[in-house]
Amino acid sequence: MIYVLVALESELPDALPPGYQLVYTGIGKVNATYAALKTIHRGDCEHMINYGSAGTLSQTHAGELLQIGTVIQRDMDARPLAPLGETPLETRVSASAIQLRMGDHSLSTGDNFVSAKPELDSDAVDMEAYAIAKVCALEDVPFSCYKFISDLADENAADHWQENVSLGAEAFLALIQSRVDHS
């Protein structure tokens, strides 16, 4: 089974093709970690995909569906023990960035809604992907990540997110359907 983890029902309704199952995680890294681990322990997880909305600091990506290739944890701040974004004394996976098998874009995850440029640079910002990616890396489960850019991570981010949160579902579902059609 391929599991698609999404924070909220408003981001993606339950309309996936056969072979895919939707799991709503709730918002944030702790909720996403719990849902990912619980899903993996079902025993039939062949692949995990995280889809959801994200903000960006670049207008060139507004309204796009991005395939993420690198995820970082923007709110891990243990300075001076480790640089910003790195988990101190981490030995099981990369302490700073998790590289995915495919994707050209970077994403930073943190438990805060971004409305101004964060210290760590990335193409997009979210609140769940790093947690899911780390669980998958630790449990040796293939992981992919797609984010629809719903807002510009600025002072209007909350309003724009509310208006655009559901707009990426059609593009993501078309992507999944094309995978089904070509397999």
Q: What is the pLDDT of residues 134-145, one digit of tens each?
A: 999 999 999 999
**What are the tens digits of pLDDT across the range 54-78?**
999 888 888 999 999 999 999 999 9
CA separation, residue 140 to residues 27, 48, 117, 119, 164 (Å):
24, 11, 33, 30, 34
Q: In sequence order, which residues have a C-beta less than 8 Å from that of residue 179 and are 6 or more positions away? A: none
Domains and CATH numbers, the chain: 2-172 (3.40.50.1580)
Q: 56 and 153 in contact (C-beta within 8 Å)?
A: yes
Tell whether the model's pLDDT for residue 183 goes beyond 90: no
Q: Coil, helix or strand for 2?
A: strand
**What are the tens digits of pLDDT across the range 79-88?**
999 999 999 9
Task: Give the end-to-end CA distance of the chain in Å, rounded to a whole number.
Answer: 14
Which residues is 166 bridged to in the sheet?
Answer: none
